Amino acid sequence: MKKSLLFIVIGLFLFMVACGEEETSDTISKKNKTTEAKGVVSEEDIDKMYSNPKQFKDYEVELTGIVFNEPEADEDGVYFQMFADPINSGKNTLVGLLDTDLKVKTDDYVKVTGIVKDEFEGENAFGGVVKAPVIEATKFEVVDYVTAVAPANRTIEIKEEINQHGYHMELQKVELADEETRVYLKISNQSDVTIDFYSFNAKLIAGNKQLEENMPYLETGLPEIQSEILPGVETEGVIIFPAIDQKEKKLTFHAEGSSENYDLDYKPFIFEINID
């Protein structure tokens, strides 16, 4: 995974200081077993829950995020820390699941439903106070990047293809999320020479803005389009662009293509996308 130094330092520090095995086990599995929830933490109250977890004690909450330390286990279950805000490495959360067979590892994206049991408070390396809610999970699943980080608000199915000299480019669909815009593309080489495609040359035009490929530092697990495509080969992948104003009614996807045959002239592959 591509991580900033700050991400690594925070992860290491919170693992060593704020989440010792004894402290986490005592807080989650030996102190209060699962009780009937008093209510549900609404989406609007998530930030309040992180500011004051004790206010929401015994409330049910649903969170998605990324595991950022090596999970610990004992005879009661498995314990780990996750960022419920993976993009900003924020909303540190301590999670315990009373299941010794749980398979989860560092950098997994997870979806957790559980009960707010307590608030953990510790001190970071700079002398500041670190607070984190302690969640006893009742439901748990490993999910993908899209589900945890940037779920689509809207999917636009397109399936439009442009063919130039046996260079077939198909725009399959576009997903609009609050955090990003994803373009799904397939390229098929039906010529007798190697063709080239470089995603960093692609552009997405929204209104009067030209958007360039955005490379998230998080590992997405999304397929990437190959750059050199041999004859008879197909490749599919996703190009990520910044988020657009979802009031836009039209987008234009602009891509470049070339081949080993310099006598062939390839015009830009241009796709008009109606959002209505």
Spacing of C-alpha 111 from chain mean position: 12
Q: Domain with 61 in it: what CATH number?
A: 2.40.50.140
For 172, the token pair is 């399959």
pLDDT digits (tens, 9 = 90+) for 8-18: 323 333 444 44
pLDDT digits (tens, 9 = 90+) for 144-160: 999 999 999 999 999 99
Query: Does the pLDDT at position 122 exceed 90?
Result: no
The pLDDT-based confidence of 232 (bands split at 50, 70, 90) is very high
pLDDT digits (tens, 9 = 90+) for 20-76: 333 333 434 444 445 578 899 999 999 999 999 999 999 999 999 999 989 998 888
Whole-number Å distance between alpha carbons of 174 and 131: 39
Q: What number is the average pLDDT over the span 249-269?
A: 96
Domain range for 189: 152-274
Q: What number is the average pLDDT over the span 203-231?
A: 95
Predicted confidence at residue 20, as pLDDT, reads 39
pLDDT averaged over the chain? 87
Cβ atoms 98, 30 nearer than 8 A: no
Residue 261 and residue 160 in one domain = yes
Q: How many domains does the chain have?
A: 2
Residue 49 and residue 168 in one domain = no
Which of 1-10, 31-40, 91-100, 177-186 reaches the highest mean pLDDT?
177-186
Q: Domain with 176 in it: what CATH number?
A: 2.60.40.4170
Among 144, 165, 183, the domain-final residue is 144
CA 169-170-171 angle, 5° bins:
125
Q: Please enumerate in sequence order all residues whose Cβ is within 8 A of that of 129, keeping only pairs 6 or more positions apart, or say none.
A: 121, 122, 123
Among 114, 144, 174, the domain-final residue is 144
Among 144, 160, 178, the domain-final residue is 144
